[in-house]
Chains A and B, each alone.
Chain A
Amino acid sequence: MPRLPSPSETAIERLRAAVGPSRAGGIVGALVLVTAITITLEVLKRFVELPPIIITYLIPVLIVAIRWGFVPSLVATVTGAACAAFFFYRPGYTLYVEDPARRLGILIFAVVAVVAAYLAVRMRRESENVRRREKEIGDLYAFSRRLAAGHSTADIFDAIQQHLSAVVGRKVALFEPRGPAGRPEPIGESDVPQGVRAAVAAVIAGRAEAAGMTVGDDHGDLWLVHPVSSKTPDLGVVAIDLGSQTPESEKEIRARIEAMLADATSTIEQIGLAHAITEVRMRAESERFRDALIGSVSHELRTPLASILGAATVLCDAPAVAGEPRLAALASVVREESERLNNEIQNLLDATRITGEALQPKLEWAEVADVVNTALERRRGRFAAHAIAVELPPELPLVQVDAVLIEKALGQILANSAKYSPPGTTIRIRGCMEGGELALAVSDEGAGLSTEDNAHLGERFFRGRRHIQSTPGSGLGFWIANAFVAANGGTIEATSRGENKGTTVTIRLPVTANVEQLESIASE
C-alpha cells in the first residue's frame, strides 16, 4: 500500500525522507544563511552604497560547503544567485535581470561558487582524514606503550582488548587462550552468553575453522567469534556482539569487522606481541618456581629451627645455666640468633605470598589501637632498648582492613625503626585523621634516609649503602610492608629530613564509615 503523506508532515520531514537527515539539515542551513544575508543586504542598502551584491553570497556558500558538504552548498549557490536577481537587480522582484553585465556576473559567481565549494569540501575531508589517522597513531602508541610496560600476560591481553575495542568501535570480549582459571575467561565484556563461550572454547581448542563463526544468543543477538590472528592461537579469541542482524546485513557487518580485525592483527604482530607474551609467561613461570623453592626451603628450615629455639629457651631458664653468667650469655646468643633467623624466614615466606598473588586480604572492621598493641606486643623483645610513645586519639574511626596484614606491615616498620635508631631514643606512633584517611605515623630519631635511599626504598631486597656493612638484614621489610598496606587499599610513605635526622613512615588507610554511623547500627 502506498504511503500517503499525513497533513502534519512538514516540508523538512519530506526533504529528510528524500535526501537523508544530514543532507536535509545542510540544505535547511543553506536556506537560512542565504535568507539572513539577503535581509542584511536589504537593510544595509538603505544606508550605504553597496559593493557588487553577488560576491557577498559567496560567504554562505563557503560556510555551507565546509560545514555540510557539497550538495547543500549547491543549494546555497542557486538560492544566492536567485535572491540577488530578485531583490537587488533591476527591474527587481523578478528573476529576470536587465543588465547583461550583471547577468554575466551571476554566471561567473555560479562558477566560482561551485569551484570554491568543491575545494572547501575536499579540504574538510583531508583534515578529517588527518585527524582520524592521528587518533589511530595515538591509539597505537598507547597500545605499544602498554605492551612494553606489561608485567603479566593479563596486562598484555588487557591492552589487546582495549586496542581492538577502540579499532572496531564495539565492545569486544577477548578470551585469553590459557586463562588463569584454566578455562577461558573474557577480558573486557564479562556478560558473554553460554553458547558463545562454548563456541570460543571450540575455536581455542582448534575444533572450529580458523576463519571464525557467528553464533546466535537467547536474545536474538548475533555474536562473531573469531581468532585474533589466523597464524597463532596465542593471541586469543574475540567475541563481538553484532546486535540483531538479517542474513544480508550480517554478511556485510561481518566482512567489515573482519577487515578491521585483520588490520589490527597485522599491527599487533608487527609489534612482536607473541614474543612479548612468551617472555612474560616465562618470567612469571620462573618467579613462581623461585617462590615455590623459597617456600619449601623455608618450611624445611623451620622445623629444626623450632627445636633449636625451643631448646635454647629451656637452657636460658634452666637453673644450672642461669646461675652461670658465661653459659647464660651463650644460651641467649643461641636464642636471639635463632629468633632472628626465624624472622628472616618469616619475611621470605611473606614475600612469596606477595609475589605468588596469594594475598587476599580478609577485610573486617578493626580498631587501630588493637593493631598497634599487637604489633608492639609481638616484638616486645626488640624494643627493649627504645622508649615507645603511642598517641592515638580515642575518637579514631574503625577501619575496614585485614588487621593481621596491617599489623605485619606496622611490625616491619617498627622493627626498621628499632634497627636504625640508637638505643635510648624514642619511637613515636601517632594516629590521626588526615583528609578522610586514617594516618598512622611511626617516627624515629635514627639514621634517616639519604636521597639515594629514598629513591630505592620501595624495591625488593634494597638496602641502604650506609647499613650494608654494619646492620644485618635482607631488604625485604619495607617492601613487604608496602605490599601488605597496598593490598588493603592503603598507601605507605617514608619521609626524612636527611641523614641521621630520623625517619617518619606513614601508613594511610581508607576510612569508609565513621564510628557514630556504625554505632547507630549496633546499638541495642
Chain B
Amino acid sequence: MSDPAPNVLVVDDEVQIRRFLRSGFELDGYAVSEAENGREAIRAATLKPTDLIILDLALPDLDGSQVLERIRSWSNVPIIILSVKSSEMEKVRLFEMGADDYVTKPFGMAELLARSKVVLRRKARATTGDSVVRIDRLKIDLAARNVFLDDERLTLTPKEYRLLQVLAQYPGNVVTHQELLKEIWGLPHINDTHYLRIVVRKLRQKIEDNPNQPRILLTELGVGYRLAPPNEPAEPAAH
C-alpha cells in the first residue's frame, strides 16, 4: 500500500478472532485498534480517526446492526460486516443500512484483505471527486454520461446507462436488487426482478467479452449486483 498505514478498527467479542485479525491486518500494513463490544466500538470510532471498521454482528451489549446505524448517522467510514449468518435477506438488510460489504464467518484472511482494499479505494476515489471509473476495458465517464469499451463509444439505452451509473457510484460494492429497481424503474417496480435481469443481460452483451462469464458486471446471488473493483487510479486520462 502506498498510502500511510490506514487505521482499521476491529470489533468482535471473541478474543481469538481479534487476535488473528490483528496479525492479518498488521502483516498487510494496517494500524489496528480493537473493540470488544458495541459501546466501545462507537466510542473508538468517534475518538480516533478510523479508515475502516470490521464489525461483528453478534456483540454482547448492542446488536451489530445498531452499531452500524449509530456510526452511519455521522460518518461514512467504510464498514465491513462479519457474521455467522449467511442468509441473503440479512445481507440485503445490512447493505441497505449502509454496510459496505459482508463477509460470512468462517472466512480466510486473504478474502477479507481483498475486500478491505476495495472499500478503501472507493473512499479514496470519492474524496478525489474523480468522475471517471475504469474497470478492465470499460470506461464510464459519469460527468459526460459516456461509456467506452477500449476506445469505442458504446450506445446504451437510458436504462442500461442508469444501471451502470448507479453501480459506478460505488464500484466494487454491492447494490441490492431493490435499490437498483427503485433507482431505475421507481418504487412501484421494486419486486420486478426480471426487469433487472433482462437489462443486465443486454448490458453484459455490450460490455463483457463473454456475457456468460462476466468480468465487469458481477452478480451477488440473491442480493444484488456490483461492478468489479476499478483499475488502479495511476493511469493517465488519455481521452
Contact = CB atoms under 8 A, between A and B. Distances in A.
Contacts of B24: 310, 313-314, 317
A313 B221 contact: no
A392 B198 contact: no
A519 B221 contact: no
Contacts of B193: 364-366
B222 A338 contact: no
Contacts of A313: 24, 108-110
B88 interface: yes
B212 A390 contact: yes
B157 A309 contact: no
Contact of A302 (B16, B105, B200): B105
A522 B27 contact: no
Interface of A is mostly: helix
Size class of the contact patch on chain A: 35 or more
B33 interface: no
A144 B112 CA distance: 58
B21 interface: yes
Contacts of B211: 369, 394
Interface of B is mostly: helix
B4 interface: no
A302 B194 contact: no
B198 A302 contact: no
A311 B21 CA distance: 8
Interface residues of B, number: 39
Nearest to B214: A373
A373 B19 CA distance: 34
Interface string A11-31: 000000000000000000000
B197 A367 contact: yes
A306 B219 contact: no
Interface string A273-285: 0000000000000
Interface string A363-391: 01111011101100000000000000010
B109 A524 contact: no
B20 A314 contact: yes
A299 B198 CA distance: 39
A306 B107 contact: yes
Interface string B208-230: 00011110000101100000000
Interface in B79-113: 84, 88-89, 105-110
A407 B197 CA distance: 17
A307 B211 CA distance: 38
Contact of B212 (A305, A394, A402, A403): A394
Given A311-B16, A364-B193, A524-B159, A518 B198 contact: yes
Interface string A311-326: 1011001110000000
Given A314-B24, A390-B213, A306 B198 contact: no
A464 B183 CA distance: 51
A141 B38 CA distance: 64
A515 interface: yes
A362 B223 CA distance: 12
A305 B222 CA distance: 26
Nearest to A518: B194
Nearest to B212: A369
Given A314-B20, A335-B108, A342-B106, A306 B197 contact: no
A304 B221 contact: no
A339 to B, nearest CB: 8
A303 B84 contact: yes
A367 B88 CA distance: 17
A331 to B, nearest CB: 12
A366 B223 CA distance: 12
A522 B20 contact: no
Nearest to A400: B194
B14 interface: yes
A398 interface: yes
A411 B177 CA distance: 23
Contacts, number: 114
Contacts of B129: none
Contacts of B109: 310, 313-314, 317
A311 B22 CA distance: 10
Interface string B9-47: 000001011011101100100000000000000000000
A374 B219 contact: yes
A305 B221 CA distance: 25
Contacts of B195: 521-522
A394 B197 CA distance: 13
Contact of A524 (B14, B27, B158, B205): B158
A342 B194 CA distance: 34
B106 A305 contact: yes
B201 interface: yes
B132 interface: no
A404 interface: yes
Contacts of A305: 106
B59 interface: no
A338 B106 contact: yes
Which of B17, B84, B193, B221 is packed against the most chain A CB atoms within 10 Å? B221
B221 A306 contact: no
A519 B159 contact: no
A26 to B, nearest CB: 63
B108 A309 contact: yes
Interface string B186-200: 000000111101111
Nearest to B84: A302
Given A314-B23, A394-B211, A404 B221 contact: yes
A317 B84 contact: no
A370 B159 contact: no
Contacts of A392: 212
B16 A307 contact: yes
A308 B14 CA distance: 12
A47 B121 CA distance: 114
Contacts of B21: 310
Contact of A307 (B17, B159, B201, B214): B17
Nearest to B107: A310
B86 to A, nearest CB: 8
Interface in B152-175: 157-159
The 6 A-B pairs of least Cβ separation, nearest first, read A307-B16, A365-B194, A306-B106, A313-B108, A370-B219, A311-B20
Given A303-B84, A373-B214, A403-B221, 17 more contacts: A299-B84, A306-B14, A306-B106, A309-B106, A317-B27, A364-B222, A367-B201, A369-B211, A370-B219, A373-B212, A373-B219, A390-B213, A392-B212, A394-B212, A518-B194, A522-B194, A524-B159
16 contacts: A302-B106, A303-B14, A306-B14, A309-B107, A310-B109, A313-B110, A317-B27, A366-B193, A369-B213, A373-B214, A398-B194, A398-B198, A518-B197, A521-B194, A524-B157, A524-B158
Interface of A: 299, 302-311, 313-314, 317-319, 335, 338, 342, 362, 364-367, 369-371, 373-374, 390, 392, 394, 398, 402-404, 407, 515, 518-519, 521-522, 524
